[in-house]
Amino acid sequence: MRSVIKMADWTIGADRTPGASPPIREVECTSCRERSDADTGQLGPDVWAIAHTGATGHDGFREIVTAFLRVMPAPGNPLHQEQVGQP
């Protein structure tokens, strides 16, 4: 069983743990609400938007990004040493 630490500093940021997913991007047309496929790269959604403009004349898009975050013990938090593997 773990102890409860009532007052300790924590940080939140991009999940960089092994196997964590990078941000996932989609582009949505603001005229008709059609969307690109989700992709971890920028090229696929951008190419989709350009092709969609060519096919429909729609030229406004919304970028939807899903980013994965992780809360970690900050330096000074007793759990920080455990997290970074220090004795």
Chain segment 2-29, per-residue pLDDT in tens: 556 567 788 889 999 999 999 999 999 9
Burial 72-81 (b: 16+ CB within 10 A, else e): bbeeebeebe
Chain segment 30-76, per-residue pLDDT in tens: 999 999 999 999 999 999 999 999 999 999 999 999 999 998 888 88
Report the 3 state secondary structure along 42-61: CHHHHHHHHHHHHHHCCCCE
Work out whether strand 24-29 and strand 10-14 pair parallel, antiparallel, or are unpaired.
Answer: unpaired
